[in-house]
Amino acid sequence: MTTESDTQPITYEELLAAVQPSAGGREILDPATGELVGRAPQHILEDLESTVAAARAAQPGWAALGHEQRSAYMNRAADAFEANAEALAVLLSREQGKPLNGPNARFEVSACAAWLRATAGFELEPEVLVDDEGGRAELHYRPLGVVGAIGPWNWPMMIGVWQLAPALRMGNTVVMKPSSSTPLSVLALVHVLNTALPEGVLHAVSGDRTVGNRLVEHPDVAKIMFTGSTDAGKAIIRNSADTVKRLTMELGGNDAGIVLPDADPQAIAQDLFWGAFINTGQTCAALKRLYVHEDIYEDVVTALTETAKAMPMGIGLDENNVLGPLQNKAQYDVVANLVQAAKDSGARIVLGGNPEQDQPGYFYPTTLVADIDNNNPLVAEEQFGPALPIVRYSSVDEAIGMANGLEVGLGASVWSSDKDKAREVAARIVAGTVWINKHGAVDPRVPFGGAKQSGYGLEFGVEGLKHLGQPQVITY
């Protein structure tokens, strides 16, 4: 049990010291400047084994507390997170690269606390399936045991909370494996939450792929939650097969947006921009290919260009910036190569596409590409960065066919002044979520999951809780 004094803020330096090893470790560099942020521990297989054992030992006691007491602990953990919000945001900005302001580092930290509170408040009561003269049947959800959570580098804290919050709420214990690109953020997340949680229920192991593979195949881990690429997800599915693990897989997306001819270009430009460029485009459910009707094509391109020009990009700790660098060199190269392929094809570079070669950091300028073929690699492959292709279409059927033409279906959006017409189009798109006049607006109360090769399983809301429990029918 924590007291009010337990939630007093610590400094950034104290937070960083708490998650670094006393000696050694792997250097973590700021993607905006190349400067040293800190050193991450290099846990090995023996560390993972002892961590899983500790999580397994703590799980029965945590489950026995019941939903009400577990929710109370989660709310206190949210208090601790809010008390340390600024130090957490600075670390996140330096390690991941995202600016403090805009829908970025401070936004992410705030969302973590909000998500913890929302998840703590969900009620999951037994469902009465049958109740008649023949008997009664009830559906209950029991804890699974130990949950392994493997997170990405783009939203390391927030997606970490998306994984750990419902797992803890349902009475499971959690072992987190952060991305090797952003381990300090997740270690800090766990450190702060553990000032309010009982010992042993939440752990983090920062290791290489060998550690991750062992977590996936470990016989004492009941479920894996994974957010990342489709290729990595397929490997996890294969490696988990021998233990028949439960899986929630939130995999790659290449989200389409369809702008209908009745849309108002000026009215939607700001929301289109942030739908595509939130976190500098490094978001699974960001708008990554935009289909615009020929009647308003140039007006949309112009309005979006004007909006994009007003969004400053630079070092995250500069309070003026709202766009940052790519988090790592590999992702920078992906974006640069795809934009170059668009240039080589003769597509029109409306904005950006001309990175400075002599500046530090992995900055790629905000880039809009018009008059591009739907089969161009910038459209057909997930760029995961600040480059948006804008494709012209003539008929709604053509736009829907192009939107559904890939083997991914995480999210999509329809933009129109007529919501009834937009809903008709949305119903024909194969995606886990289709937004109308917005994109990527997730809500802790609303289930979220992918279609096709964007994964399976649901997160968020009461339905998300169910995916962290073992269904059990009791009939009498």
Active site residues: 250, 284
Asked if 324 and 104 touch (Cβ cutoff 8 Å), the reply is yes
Q: Is the dihedral of CA 377, 382, 383, 389 positive or negative?
A: positive
Asked if 340 and 367 touch (Cβ cutoff 8 Å), the reply is no
Q: Is the dihedral of CA 231, 150, 244, 120 positive or negative?
A: negative
| Residue 45 DSSP one-character state | H
How many CA atoms within 13 Å lie on the side-chain side of 241? 6
User: What DSSP line would sit under 295-310, residue for residue?
Assistant: TTHHHHHHHHHHHHHT
CA-to-CA distance for 434 and 432, rounded, in angstroms?
A: 7
| Residue 410 DSSP one-character state | S
**Residue in the structure block whose two tokens are 């766990």:** 190
Token digits of residue 4:
């009010």
CA-to-CA distance for 87 and 236, rounded, in angstroms?
A: 33
**Closest residue by Cα to residue 324 from 99, 111, 20:** 99
CA-to-CA distance for 457 and 472, rounded, in angstroms?
A: 18
Asked if 256 and 402 touch (Cβ cutoff 8 Å), the reply is yes
| Dihedrals phi, psi of 383, to nearest 5 degrees | -80, -35
